[in-house]
A and B are shown apart, each in its own frame.
Chain A
Amino acid sequence: MTDMTATQTQAEKLDSAASRKARIMGGILIALALLVLFVLDVVPGESATFRLTTRRDAIQIPDLVVPGAFNMVCAALLAFLGVRQLLRGGARWTSLSLGFGLLLLVMAFLVWATAGKAFNLTSMLQAAVLASVPIALGGLAGVMSERVAVVNIAIEGMLLAGAFAGALIGSLLGGWIGLVAAILVGGCFGLLLATLVVTFRMDQIIAGVVINLFVLGVTSYVSSQVFAEYRFLNNAKVFRAWEIPLLSDIPVIGPMLFDQNLFVYGAFILVGIATYYLFHTRNGLRARAVGEHPRAADTLGVDVYVTRYVHVTIAGMIAGFGGAFFTLGNVGRFEENMTNGRGYIGLAAMIFGRWHPVGALSAALIFGFADSIQQKLALLNTPIPSEFLAMAPYIATIIVVAGLVGRSRPPAADGKPYVKE
């Protein structure tokens, strides 16, 4: 008898929570279907042309021509997913349906915006990868410090400091030394954050915000007062893209991944190293233990304070490297607040990526995609104002963090100072 009641309550429980969420998602999907059908409708007969290769490429593949009817199909699929979600509840599939639904929406949007015109898809994807680099590195910095339970709001400031140091030292002593300087400056701010929160047990959020405001203030002051006067201080050589032979000739993938600059390769390599380090080495295991249960780590002879200092400093160095991207990897000069919230988006990428380096990178790619779609579409003369499009990365952040992440679990001791007995 007890088993029967158990199943009953199980059903009740599903009904109460998970299926409520499933139904909301169903509603959203149907709303998206209507949006695609009535707003993103393409004039019959028109089609969108997506260029995949340019004339200079070694291997040529034909353009992708999508007929306008594609959007009808998208709307139908969205509606199907939505109705299915409403009727069946679909607990386990909820997130997947939403993810697929968003993908359909993006495709429909691209077709709509490009209808009757041509659009270089590959160059947009290439730009997406580029745009995701600082976000990925910011997210990775977040992973490194939150895995040892230090919440790192200061990533934004560290990125900005890295960008600034890269521009200044890069202008004076050359790109490579500028890059090293950016990493060191980032590391210094990491060390500062560690000192504030580990040794002085300052509130981690406040310490982070203080660093952000400090960096913003100092760099803005110098750039407006000094750089404006002495322009040679803010004119660094940019790291050009390095084509990797053969691999860069692959259509679409080649330009995306193998015809990029140092920072893109660096981000991918760092993510690989961080994953190996955290999950397959002795020190990685200890670091994670410090983030989950510092007292247990302490009783087993792991020095909690040293571990936190080291990892937060490394996080700062990663963020410094990511910051140098803005100047040395992109425009070669520093501008006020040029990171523009990328550090915070990096934190969102970390959460969406469930505190895993690869997860953070994947999330960063999504955000980078939203960012580049916005820039490229501005060129296509869509009826949507460009200011509105500029919101895209942030809207993507909100949707993704609120809707898709669900119950991702931070390290258990995240944000809590550790007091030895």
Chain B
Amino acid sequence: MDVELRGITKRFGSVVANDNVNLTIRGGEVLGLLGENGAGKSTMMNMLSGLYTPDEGEILIDGKKVEFDGPGDGIEAGIGMVHQHFMLVPVFTVAENVVLGVEPTGKMGYLDMRRARRQVEEINEKYGLHVPPDELIEELPVGIQQRVEILKVLFRSADVLILDEPTAVLTPQEVREFFGIVNTLKEAGKAIVFITHKLHEILEISDRVSVLRQGRITGEGDPKTLTEADLAEMMVGRPVSFTTDKEPAKPGRTMIEMQNVSMLDETDEIVLERVSMSVRSGEVVGVAGVQGNGQTELVEALTGLERVASGKIIFDGTDITTASVRERHKMGMAHIPEDRHKSGMVDSFTIAENMVLNNYYAPEYSRGWAIDWNKVAETSARYCVEFDVRTPSVYLPGGSLSGGNQQKMVVARELERETKLVIASQPTRGVDVGSIEYIHERLIQARDEGDGVLIVSSELDEVLGLSDRIYVMYDGRIVAEFDNTGGKADRNAVGLAMAGAHNGDAATGEGDAA
């Protein structure tokens, strides 16, 4: 089945999300769709799945014009979408999730689960998905859950599969398996749209690539003849450097140390288990791991957002195990939180207000009991210039900035003062390539000024590119440590550790950083 988009334009208010986009999707082919966050990839795909209707232009399936006006229409026409955030009911079984909405039924609406199970098995067999039909979703690893999503669209006999950032939640090993499945689907004649911002994946899996920038197609080509640099330039609109240039680390004294720290969540499940780690001044330490393996909790323990159950945390020689967040902050700990909207900024506050969220109480901003807003605005304006936050005014709400500028605002606030330790959690999530480059440079700069820098990221490339030393977390534990001086850590070994492989050897073999 072939799908063609012709001159598609979609506006939201005054924002043009898609501007005269032409795109062809062919059966038996993987089309890589590349673009930064906000480039208009999702809008385009949502029009294909029927969630949005285009303002201009037309969609043709096998040469015939079609019109969608509801979320069910796309799938009815054979276009299935696998969302980045899974649309699965956690307490249902695989089979229940797969058949939901198109259930095999007997008399009086009786739900024929036996038939459902059999149908699931058939698709399993045909595409080599290996998904257990009777398992509850919440008990399956993320990689398998994703296959359930694929099963769901195949069950509805989709011929076009749109995969929205499918590898974001997978370990490198799971990505390998996932690519195998994509190839099987392709051989079976399915058309696949693979949306991502990871360049090397596009080059590896796709047969054709289209690049989207600011709602327009800015480049198309054959991945065999393109390089990552070409793609990045199409995506950003200017040449981008990938490797953050940095001097070798000069580690000094131990800045922060965790000794056998354990932590429980509110249901008394173990989320951190006897974690011992340290960051020294003048080095960047990366924490790699698939999301949800204790990284968030590690950061919460370090920054004092959650109490630890046992163990000790020592910050520059002082025991801070029970110190409050503000105490730690005053001692020189900077924290760039993983979710800026939840805990990094207040969307409805102005940029100026956001810039002083962490030290509005400092004497320099006070005029007696009141806050000296002029002073705040003045300082914020300076930070904006220094940290490349692009805004016409510091009096605009923080939420009005683009993702990259919001993040730079948070980074500015955290780094623009005397710091000893910078904890950056997913510092570049949802940030454009240009800003990523900039934030990385700033973090390295903090290191070179003698700070300890801890980077927690689910993007393995980010961890490998920045860190001098790497910890890998799995299931609430640190399962491996790698020396990455001069980028010598083995990507595969790190990936294996992320998947929780039993490899004390891989860890100790490489481990023991200077």
Contacts and interface: CB of A to CB of B under 8 A. Distances in A.
A13 B264 contact: yes
A27 interface: no
Interface string B46-69: 000001000000000000000000
B24 to A, nearest CB: 25
A421 interface: yes
B297 to A, nearest CB: 14
B101 interface: yes
B268 A13 contact: yes
Interface in B39-94: 51, 71-72, 75, 81, 83, 87-92
Contacts of A224: none
B348 interface: no
A286 B90 contact: no
Given A289-B92, A292-B91, A407 B72 contact: no
A296 B109 contact: no
A292 B101 CA distance: 15
A407 B101 CA distance: 30
Given A300-B100, A421-B51, A12 B90 contact: no
B105 A295 contact: no
B402 to A, nearest CB: 21
Given A2-B477, A283-B109, A299-B83, A9 B90 contact: no
Interface in B108-124: 108-111
Given A292-B89, A292-B91, A293-B87, A5 B274 contact: yes
A289 B268 contact: no
B308 to A, nearest CB: 12
B100 A9 contact: no
B103 interface: yes
B96 interface: yes
A267 B110 CA distance: 22
A283 B97 CA distance: 14
Contacts of B109: 281-283
Contacts of A409: 91
Contacts of B273: 5-6, 9
Contacts of A18: 268
* A contact face: mostly helix, strand, loop, or mixed: helix
B264 A295 contact: no
Nearest to A17: B268
A280 to B, nearest CB: 6
B79 to A, nearest CB: 13
Contact of B88 (A283, A293, A421): A293
Interface string A1-34: 1100110011011001110000000000000000
B270 interface: yes
Contacts of A285: 92, 96, 99-100, 103, 111
B343 interface: no
A158 B86 CA distance: 38
Contacts of B101: 286, 297, 300-302
A90 interface: no
Interface in B261-293: 262, 264, 267-270, 273-274
B504 interface: yes
B310 A281 contact: no
Contacts of A17: 264, 268
Most buried by A among B89, B90, B92, B105: B89
Nearest to B103: A282
Nearest to B86: A296
Given A9-B262, A297-B100, A407-B267, A412 B91 contact: yes
A280 B112 CA distance: 8
Given A16-B264, A18-B268, A421-B51, A299 B91 contact: no
A316 to B, nearest CB: 22
A284 interface: yes
B436 to A, nearest CB: 28
Contacts of B87: 293, 295-296, 299-300
A293 B89 CA distance: 6
A298 B90 contact: no
Contacts of B91: 292, 409, 412
Given A9-B262, A281-B110, A297-B101, A2 B89 contact: no
Contacts of B267: 407
A288 B103 CA distance: 14
Given A17-B264, A280-B110, 11 more contacts: A13-B270, A16-B268, A16-B309, A17-B268, A285-B111, A289-B89, A296-B87, A296-B88, A296-B100, A297-B101, A412-B90
12 contacts: A5-B273, A5-B274, A16-B309, A281-B108, A289-B89, A293-B89, A296-B100, A297-B89, A297-B101, A301-B75, A301-B101, A302-B101
Interface of B: 51, 71-72, 75, 81, 83, 87-92, 96-97, 99-103, 105, 108-111, 152, 262, 264, 267-270, 273-274, 309-310, 477, 479, 504
Interface of A: 1-2, 5-6, 9-10, 12-13, 16-18, 280-286, 288-289, 292-293, 295-302, 407, 409, 412, 421
